[in-house]
Amino acid sequence: MANGNKQGINININDLRKLACPKCKEGFTFMQVFDVRAIPALISPAGQAGAMFNQLGFACMQCGEVYTNQQLADIAVKALDTPNSPLTLLTSGKVTEEN
Give the C-alpha distances (Å, rounded to integers) separating 35 from 53, 55, 68, 72: 6, 7, 13, 19
Rg of the chain's alpha carbons, rounded to an integer? 19
pLDDT (0 to 100) of residue 79: 75
Cα(7)–Cα(25) distance, rounded to whole angstroms?
Answer: 34
pLDDT (0 to 100) of residue 12: 87
pLDDT (0 to 100) of residue 92: 45
Give me the residues of the chain with pLDDT under 70, please.
1-6, 82-99
pLDDT (0 to 100) of residue 83: 60
pLDDT (0 to 100) of residue 11: 85
pLDDT (0 to 100) of residue 1: 44
